[in-house]
A and B are shown apart, each in its own frame.
Chain A
Amino acid sequence: MKAISPTRFGGGVFDCPVCAEVNNFDPQPYLNEAKMVRLMNRDAQMAVVAARLALENAGIKARSAYRPDEIALFGATGLAGLPLGEVAPLITASTGSNGLFDLDLFGRLGLKAVRPILSFKILSNMPFCFVSINEGIQGPNAIYAPWEGNGAQAVEAGIRALSTGDAKCSLVGGCDVKTHELAFASLQQLGLFSSWCSTGTGIVPGEGAAFLVLEMERDARARGARMYGAVSSFSFRTSCPGKAMSQTREDVLQGLNAQGAVSAVVSSSSEVHSSEIKESSLLKSARISAGITLRPKPYVGDLFAAAAPLQLALGALLTEAGGAQVLVNCFGHGSTQAAFLLDKI
């Protein structure tokens, strides 16, 4: 089932005409305090819901399976999801008769036109602070931004926290909302919609959040947890000037030591537009063959900061379903490119 539909905004202004929205989204059942929702942006609401679902799925509640300070929280967030509608009253009150933004009006009238909680909505770390508050998590933490590779970094940080003994459990994930006008304008300015002009296809911005619960195998076994799969290796590379992105991604795959056959690949590509680097070619160069390939982006859109955790969640499901080894690629915009290899337990 595809969630992609024409945007409800834009009217042809943006090169990309579609997006992938989460319809009928209601975070209230997942919040410990109902009034928290008025402080939260949509990305924070989605993060809180996805984090609760992940913890429930793992059978973990802070203060029961692990102490609150034994649970780490590493996340990734995208470009600030500030819908222009939120600041429209401020802009209107701050614009002079000449049509220009007026600092005097802004100070005297504009600030009175917005709610004081606006700041809490635009701070990039807030989604994960809400997660920590809602779940009582107090352990090691960090938040990265703003692209797919940075979501992969959050997962890697969670793995490191476990392997160094900093945490006994890591809640890792990402959230992003790109289904509003300002996000579309920013993505267009960054050139991410360019293939829509040339080929009529391209990146489809989406919205959502995805979280994973990571534990050391012995701890998961000790508490009788359901285990989807094991992270057997991961590989990160940084693209920089003078090196083709395709080479950087090929290096990522080489770094996994995964030559040969894998049961499945979770691709970060949509493979629909010609300007995209084809993952199939990269796999061929890295001498990796795949039984099946799963491509979530044509269905849920590109979740940017949330894409890597989502793809890893799909990889984990494939592993549990019988895949001996599943390759999860996290190749997206930005300089950080990554991939994970999941093994069946």
Chain B
Amino acid sequence: MRNRVVITGMGVCTGIGGSIAAFWEGLTAGRSGICLVSVFDASALPIRIAGEVKDLNLSKLKCAFPAAAGERDRKIWLGLEAAGQAVRDAGLEEEMLSDALLVVGVSLETFFLGDVSALARTGSATRTLQGILQAPQAPWLQTPLDRLTQILGDHYRQAGGRYTNCSACAAGTQAIGEGFRMLRDGMVKVAVVGASDSVLNPLAMGGFSLLQILSKENHTPERACRPFDATRQGTVLGEGAAFLVMETLEGALQRGARIYSEVLGYGSSLDAYRVTDPEPDGKGAALSMAKAITDAGLRPEQIDCVNAHGTGTPKNDIAENRAIKQALGRRAFEIPITANKSMTGHLIAASGAVEATASVLTLFENTVPPTINLAHRDPDCDLDYVSEGSRPFKGQTVLSNSFGFGGQNATLIFGRYE
């Protein structure tokens, strides 16, 4: 027997808003959350802009999650904030949380270069590490990838299965997709799923800047990310988190929960092409979409909106445009497509979770948010990318894409709950 799966709680934390209400208001107003980085002095870096979360209340979070008090990694805090919001929003009781499934998407451990600066003096990794290990209360050299999962799970005394997904930019979408499948197949009744990421640290921002995929437009941060625009120069990094509470429809109805939307389908695929580039024809991405459509029991003509991966890099956007046309056929030209990264920046592991939240809100609030900064049509990006501002929406379904570095693709389909 297959359960229907619905979303009953949401939490989000991004540069355009630290709550669902603020996020949605910013998104539909077309407000950019991209700015000069202030969490560290990035003035000497080639790229100095990012989608930064400004209003994170750390002291409040430290009270709420005392086990995290010593954490330096921002993705931990962002994740705790968003997950806490989602759990509160869903009104889950403690007993339900103890049996819940927890799936958390992250990308990489944060490594603090300043911790090992002694390497320059000693020339010895051993002596450098010795100094750190002997220091009282020395912070962790690497935040373990499952640290957020562990803190959240222990805080809620959750024992219904814990997964830490690290599928790069597809991690958030995969986390939600895996939770959806387990609910649908009757393995669990409630799932807290989402992702968190922050690459706003010197090594990550510096490292990504070396890959030549980032926009260098430091002078105009709010205009720097221009998915599907003919003048786009690259993506802009960001930080953020989003979590969803998902339940079986039966369980949600039994406890009288508010239902935002239904999860209809999930698919994933691999490009098997190159780690440095997307497959140029978009075949791998199209495969992911086709699998999700089949999984949902839909036909391509039943997809009413696409929340694109839309990074703003020259290669990715063309590949995605091709992929959407392959997967949806003529329907691709008839439906609105939106790219949230134009406002949030690329949140890496968290991007899929944040864009899934935007997709759910698109259905719940009957509005497609715009793709900002799209002023010059690219003939190779020839679909309806909603550039004029928010658009009213009465459709039944939204498809959300995430395509990760290395060629990991994942797609979710959400449906209106009526």
Residue positions of A touching B, CB distance < 8 A: 9-11, 13-14, 39, 62, 68-69, 73, 77, 79-80, 82-85, 87-88, 90-92, 94-95, 99-101, 103-108, 110-111, 114-116, 118-120, 122-126, 128-130, 132-133, 135-147, 150, 153, 157, 160, 164, 166, 181-182, 184-186, 188-190, 236-243, 334-336
Contacts and interface: CB of A to CB of B under 8 A. Distances in A.
B145 A103 contact: no
Contact of A103 (B44, B108, B111, B120): B44
B153 A91 contact: no
A90 B43 CA distance: 18
Given A10-B126, A90-B113, A99-B117, A118 B272 contact: no
Top 7 closest pairs, chain A to chain B, by CB:
A107-B44, A129-B406, A95-B120, A116-B210, A101-B114, A124-B166, A101-B117
Interface string B98-118: 100000001111010110111
Given A107-B45, A114-B210, A125-B166, A237 B141 contact: no
A140 B290 CA distance: 12
B153 A240 contact: yes
B251 interface: no
B157 A242 contact: yes
B7 to A, nearest CB: 21
Given A91-B113, A336-B162, 10 more contacts: A80-B142, A91-B116, A95-B117, A99-B118, A101-B114, A118-B207, A129-B408, A140-B291, A164-B185, A240-B157
A137 B408 CA distance: 11
B275 A120 contact: yes
B154 A240 contact: yes
B180 to A, nearest CB: 12
Interface of B: 40-46, 98, 106-109, 111, 113-114, 116-121, 125-130, 132-133, 138, 140-142, 144-146, 149-150, 153-154, 157-168, 171, 174, 178, 181, 185, 202-203, 206-212, 267-276, 284, 287, 291, 404-408
Contacts of A77: 166
Contacts of A138: 269-272, 284, 287
A129 B233 CA distance: 26
Main secondary structure of the interface of B (DSSP, over half): mixed
Contacts of A145: 106, 145-146, 164, 166
A120 B211 CA distance: 9
Nearest to A150: B164
Given A137-B270, A138-B271, A144 B163 contact: yes
Nearest to B269: A138
A277 B214 CA distance: 49
Given A80-B142, A103-B202, A129 B117 contact: no
Contact of A85 (B40, B125, B171, B404): B125
29 contacts: A9-B126, A13-B130, A69-B287, A80-B142, A83-B125, A85-B125, A99-B118, A100-B114, A106-B202, A107-B42, A107-B45, A125-B166, A132-B270, A132-B406, A133-B274, A139-B270, A140-B269, A141-B268, A144-B164, A145-B106, A146-B145, A146-B146, A147-B146, A184-B129, A186-B140, A189-B133, A240-B154, A334-B146, A336-B161
